[in-house]
């Protein structure tokens, strides 16, 4: 078990950085769920900021008018 864990540690310590460095141009980052939520968030009716309330109302009206 110790040998296996040591081998895994060595691979991630030495091989993984070289592997990632060689493929840095091929790796394209994706947006995670939280980033998508933040970008699409318009606010809530209970928001304290007037801009967020107005943005929420506009988004709600737009959604209602689409249907």
pTM for this prediction: 0.44
pLDDT at 66: 81
Per-residue pLDDT tens digits for 37-60:
877 788 788 888 888 888 888 888
pLDDT at 5: 96
Domain that includes residue 55, residue range: 2-66
CA 38 to chain centre: 9
Surface-to-core class of residue 9, CB atoms within 10 Å of its CB (0-12 exposed, 13-18 middle, 19+ buried): exposed
Split into its structural domains, the chain has a count of 1
pLDDT in tens, 6-33: 999 999 999 999 999 999 899 888 888 8
């Amino acid at each position: 078990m110790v040998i296996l864990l040591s081998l895994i540690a060595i691979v991630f310590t030495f091989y993984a950085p070289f592997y990632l460095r060689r493929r840095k141009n091929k790796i394209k980052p994706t947006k995670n769920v939280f980033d998508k939520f933040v970008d699409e968030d318009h606010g809530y009716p209970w928001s304290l900021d007037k801009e967020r309330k107005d943005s929420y109302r506009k988004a709600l009206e737009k959604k209602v008018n689409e249907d």
